[in-house]
Amino acid sequence: MSAPAGLPPRPAGAAAAVYPGGPGASREAAAAQGGAPCYQNGPVQGQMQFPSGYGSHPPNYSVPSGHYSEVPNKAAASHLDNQYRASYYPTYYSAPAQNVMTPSVGTNVLNTQESQQLYNKTPPHTVGSAEGPIQGAIPPASYLHTNAQQSYSAFGNLYSTSVSSSVASQGFPLDSGHCTMPTTPVVSGAMYPSVSYPAAAGSVYGKAFTSQSLTAVGQFKETNTFSSWSISVPHSLQQHVPMGYNSTLSTMSSAQSVQGNLSRNLTGSAAKVNNQINTAIDSSSTTSSASPVLNNYDALEGGGYPEARSVTSSPVPAPSVPQTSKASKPFGYGYPTLQPGYQNAAPPTPVQPSNPGHHPGLQHYPQQYSGVNQLSSSLGGLSLQHSQQPESLRPVNLTQDRNILPVSSVPAPVPNLNSDLRKLNCSPDSFRCTLTNVPQTQALLNKAKLPLGLLLHPFRDLTQLPVITSSTIVRCRSCRTYINPFVSFIDQRRWKCNLCYRVNDVPEEFMYNPLTRSYGEPHKRPEVQNSTVEFIASSDYMLRPPQPAVYLFVLDVSHNAVEAGYLTIVCQSLLENLDKLPGDSRTRIGFITFDSTVQFYNLQEGLSQPQMLIVSDIDDIFLPTPDSLLVNLHESKELIKDLLNALPNMFTNTRETHSALGPALQAAFKLMSPTGGRISVFQTQLPSLGAGLLHSREDPNQRSSTKVVQHLGPATDFYKKLALDCSGQQTAVDLFLLSSQYSDLASLACISKYSAGCIYYYPSFHRSHNPTQAEKLQKDLKRYLTRKIGFEAVMRIRCTKGLSIHTFHGNFFVRSTDLLSLANVNPDAGFAVQMSIEESLTDTSLVCFQTALLYTSSKGERRIRVHTLCLPVVSSLADVYAGADVQAVVCLLANMAVDRSVSSSLADARDALVNAVVDSLAAYMSAASNLQQSMLIAPNSLKLFPLYILALLKQKAFRTGTSTRLDDRVYAMCQMKSQPLVHLMKMIHPNLYRIDRLIDESTIHVNDRVVPQPPLQKLSAEKLTREGAFFMDCGSIFYIWIGKNCDNNFIKDVLGYPNYASVPQKMTQLPEMDALSSERTRSFISWLRDGRPLSPVLQVIKDENPAKTDFLQHLIEDRTEAAFSYYEFLLNIQQQICK
């Protein structure tokens, strides 16, 4: 969004996104206004309590609160918090953003345990905020708690470790406690070192030390050595303790965001850095006495090990363990209780001794677990010289190491930054880079043979994000970067852009911090304290007034469609969700149906019933009554309801088999072009009439061919052109394809791909014959209709000078070099970009990436969501490998492979995937010269790389030799391009759990429910025993596989049938049985389900069920007729490397 002010305007209609020099324009105004007055929220700062502040700033905050509250309201809080809970990475920094408006930075920083408690306790609040009307002071308060809970749910979950007994604690008292904290502690904390670090941080710390002193120690060593060290340790536990580690980090970021709020609410909230460091010092001093360290490790171990899951059951209960639990359990009474704990634990000792104190603990750890992890040798060396070989570089012999899967989900690697930056950094869920250590030069990147790119999920549902209203949005004058936490302030008046290094002035208005009511502290502003922020944009950011939410439904009503019976489901879902459609009083809605003709519906207010207008001239389509087809949702609600009730039966006797999709789309485009909005198209067959007609291109005999797969690209450019027209008019087309035969998705998908829509595909859909698909449609629709939506959006990704983005993946239209035009943006859309290093980055140690998404919310507000990610630059190959993020790499490769298979051929794409593994491992092995060449060695950070690539090769999108319908294949490709990383990884490598023996150990507590955490199993039939029942989480679908000799008790208690034989073939729901195992299973499943936007369909599969193949195809480590097993694949790679 950096169109320099002097540029000629973009062609009209291209977007509402030209930004004449915003800051410049409003600077004078700001100066005139002076500091305080320009912030409406200035006057209100008498209290620190966020809720009250929140409530009492109607001009600024009411909107955000309303806006965000919409999320809990609509999607139901449970959905949100679950999303955080179940998702892959605990590091949902965003959530914590404002949860605790407190001086207790340290709390969040260091205290996972607390988070868990917090988290455990909050459900009542959640409910309150979810249901209550959101106004006044109280709802915001509960809203806060919701957030707290949500944010912590992630930690709680991942941190399954300890304190399962800590249910008692609470979110609310905690918050209020914090809120009412006097300012002084913080201020003083800012100024003095640890000694004077009184109640606030201290008590906070007391809570924290249980699990976190490990990182805390690291924290205080601010150098790189430290960070590599702190990385190395947790990673060495990677298989077992990733949670502990991650949660730490996430908490850090939470701390950062907390700080953001803090600075809003507290006068002189003062250097958070200091706070942080103080806390760190405190904690490190704790570690100087060896026993707490041990405890910490125990706690960590507890997190991962099945054997020792909770602190209390950990084998080495050193003196402070009881203390820990004491500190945590009574936590519910408010944190003052913790103070004793803190005082005991953290006498203000000098910092220095902490290191020696720490290392014994570390050594202790590997000894205990060496057997399990095969770590002993590498870790033994690690104890003092961590920086020498970070854990992520630990060589893993792939052919020998069979158990490479972590116990729980794979964590995102954490950039090797110093702790201040790290906690400011953007959440890996929104923003991930394939290489968290960016190589210095392109030559080094080429040597590493890994792709450099970003994976973005910019519009993710966030429960908390700072929303900033100010008349000037501070941006760099030359590159238009938004001010972010990684800029440097040269002095009070100037800041240096971290992307182009230009020195900019700080506008007068920015000097005043509305949250603290203090002047002259630009670095305390929320923009500078949070790497994810949202600005409410001024009219500078609009080309036209913000558009209303406009929804148009285009429904196929040909014979085929009526037969499949989807209309009933769609109309039903719409009726149910009509009031929940995001929008304001201007929301408009319209309907078009089509078979061989196109039917419009006049829903003008005042009519007694909907009027159908049939246009049969499909070659030259026109709108019969242009102004009454899209009507105001609220004014014509009755008519709309009538229509929806009538629609399913209107066409029951139709004999029309043709489908004129093209003309219907043209009509829809004409209807939408004045406003823009969203077109939802439901199509059930190949379009056979009018413009854009398609012919069947699939040869069923070629489905399982191993040679050439043709027709992956579109057959005509009609849909692409139409999509670009739509995109130009800010209209997105979402395609729902519900077909039983080939419908040429490759061509049809273009309409959504380039208009930034989304694609849903339901193969062999039939309402009664295929209930699974019907249920899926219903659930998808519910999410689809109620999720957040952004209109007339544009996204720009900027990166530090020297890097350049050369390829984009996702659904959008690249309008100019780095500007993505998104007619609509939805929270389930992911994007990927590939980058190259144009100039050497030798003179910088950090690179930053910033994505800015400018959109119109459904409430008609123009908003800009900005994410900033900061990564270190490294010069050695080893460091590049150490920072590789295997999941991001695999997702980016998947995107590249899709492009490759369309532009070249599937075989090429497959080869490229295999070569990616071969090249990178070969490069690694030749770089690490001390390794024996005969073995297949991968750095620990990449140990899952071959597995994931194999999984990718066995995906529907890329597999050969197995019968795959062309549409299925194309759909899988579309998903790879448009899914965010979290969902894509589930699709590539599903999670398999054994669920017939769920135990209470290692459970976590979510909303007063006990959620068991069974360990991940390898995706191999060897793990499936006939005695067991297994659960597979494939992202969009859940399978439960029941072995033949499965325990009858399980079948009876969980499935509700007396024995194996009586379990029906099609079972999609688990009954609510009154048995412990049933309860556990259900809570586990609902916990997984809550974590994602599309609630997946459950399918119970018996051993001899025909649907078994669906399940077995996901066992990617096994050999199939057409593909290698994992071991064979490894051998194959090894061979190729040796060649």
Partner 1 sequence: FCILSYCTIFPYLVFQIITLSDLECDYINARSCCSKLNKWVVPEVIGHAVVTVLMLISLHWFIFLLNLPVATWNIYRYIMVPSGNMGVFDPTEIHNRGQLKSHMKEAMIKLGFHLLCFFMYLYSMILALIND
Point out which residues bind partner 1 (CB under 8 A).
3, 7-8, 10-11, 14, 713-717, 720-721, 724, 728, 746-747, 750, 754, 806-808, 813-817, 819, 899, 903
Number of H-type helices and E-type strands within the chain: 40, 34
Instruction: Report in angstroms how near the CB of residue 8 gets to partner 1 at its nearest.
Output: 7
CA distances from 745 to 190, 335, 737, 753, 825 (A): 60, 58, 8, 11, 22
Between residues 11 and 606, which has the closer beta carbon with respect to partner 1?
11
Tell the smallest beta-carbon distance from residue 991 to partner 1 (Å): 33
The CA distance from 486 to 497, in Å, is 8
> Strand 550-556 relative to strand 503-505: parallel, antiparallel, unpaired?
unpaired
CA-based torsion, 768, 771, 776, 781: positive or negative: positive
Residue with smaller CB distance to partner 1, 85 or 815: 815
Q: Which is nearer to partner 1, 273 or 724 (CB)?
A: 724
For residue 670, the minimal CB distance to partner 1 (Å) is 19
Distance (Å, whole) CA 602 – CA 612: 6
Neighbours of 732 (CB within 10 A): 31
Question: Shortest distance, CB of residue 726 to partner 1, whole angstroms?
Answer: 12
Nearer to partner 1, 705 or 716 (CB): 716
Closest C-alpha among 1098, 1086, 1089, 1091 to residue 1008:
1086
Residue 389: which residues within 8 A CB-CB, separation 6 or more? 232, 378, 381, 382
Provide, rounded to whole angstroms, the least separation between the CB of residue 978 and partner 1: 14
Non-local CB neighbours of 53 within 8 Å, separated by 6+ positions: 41, 44, 45, 47, 61, 264, 265
Shortest Å distance, C-beta 899 to partner 1:
8
CB neighbourhood size of 1029 (10 A): 25
Amino acid at 1085: I
| Residues whose CB falls within 8 Å of the CB of residue 252, separated by 6 or more in sequence, listed in order | 108, 109, 215, 419, 422, 423
- Helix, coil or strand: residue 682: strand
Q: How far is the CB of 18 from partner 1 (least distance, A)?
A: 11
Q: Which CB sits closer to partner 1, 2 or 418?
A: 2
Give me the least distance between CB of 27 and partner 1, in Å please. Answer: 25
Q: What SS3 class is residue 968?
A: helix
Task: Output 29 or 902, the one with its CB closest to partner 1.
Answer: 902
In DSSP terms, 821 is beta-bridged to: 794, 813
> In this complex, which beta carbon is closest to partner 1, that of residue 819 or of residue 972?
819
Amino acid at 871: L
Q: Which is nearer to partner 1, 673 or 1113 (CB)?
A: 673
Question: Which lies closer to partner 1 via its Cβ, residue 898 or residue 1037?
Answer: 898
| Beta strand ranges found along 785-845 (DSSP E) | 790-799, 803-809, 813-816, 819-825, 831-837
Q: Smaller CB distance to partner 1: residue 140 or 728?
A: 728
Q: Is 650 helix (H, G, I), strand (E, B) or coil?
A: helix
How many other C-beta atoms are found inside a 10 Å radius of the C-beta of residue 647? Answer: 21
Could you tell me which residues come within 8 angstroms of residue 238 by beta carbon, excluding any fewer than 6 positions away?
391, 406, 411, 940
Which CB atom, from 54 or from 718, has the smaller least distance to partner 1? 718
Closest contact distance (angstroms) between CB of 9 and partner 1 is 11
DSSP string, 450-514: ---EEEE-TT---S---EEE-S---B-TTT-PBP-TT-EEEETTEEE-TTT--EEEPPHHHHEET
- Across the beta sheet with 488-491, the strand order is 488-491, 494-496, 503-505
β-bridge mates for residue 439, sequence order: 874
Residue 814 CB, shortest distance to partner 1, in Å, is: 4
- Is residue 929 classed exposed, middle or buried when 0-12, 13-18 and 19+ CB atoms within 10 A define those classes? exposed
Q: CA dist 950 to 913, 989, 1116, 1129, Å?
A: 9, 10, 7, 7
CA 955 to chain centre: 22
Distance of alpha carbon 271 from alpha carbon 284, whole angstroms: 20
For 274-296, give the DSSP string.
HHHHHHHHHHHHHHHSHHHHHHH
Contact 710/679 with Cβ under 8 angstroms?
no
Q: Which is nearer to partner 1, 77 or 820 (CB)?
A: 820
Nearest approach in angstroms of CB 300 to partner 1 is 44
Instruction: Please count the other Cβ atoms lying within 10 Å of the Cβ belonging to residue 173.
Output: 15
Beta-sheet pairing, 1097-1102 with 1037-1042: parallel
CB of 474 to partner 1, least distance (A): 23
CA distance 887 to 941: 10
Closest CB to partner 1 among 625 and 816?
816
Cβ at position 724, least distance to partner 1 in Å: 6
Only one residue has tokens 């688990």, namely 1070
Q: Which is nearer to partner 1, 594 or 813 (CB)?
A: 813
Which lies closer to partner 1 via its Cβ, residue 630 or residue 750? 750
Report, in Å, the least distance between residue 1 CB and partner 1. 11
**Shortest Å distance, C-beta 696 to partner 1:** 15
Q: Which residue's CB is nearer to partner 1, number 459 or number 754?
A: 754
Distances (CA, A) of 467 to 84, 97, 183, 463: 20, 11, 24, 12
Residue with smaller CB distance to partner 1, 19 or 1087? 19
Q: Are 839 and 873 in contact (CB under 8 A)?
A: no
Q: Which is nearer to partner 1, 817 or 934 (CB)?
A: 817
Q: Kindly state the smallest distance separating residue 722's Cβ from partner 1, in Å.
A: 11
Q: How far is the C-alpha of 74 from the C-alpha of 448, rounded, in Å?
A: 46
Please, what is the minimum distance in Å from the beta carbon of residue 714 to partner 1?
A: 3
For the bound state, the minimum distance from the C-beta of residue 445 to partner 1, rounded and expressed in Å, comes to 15
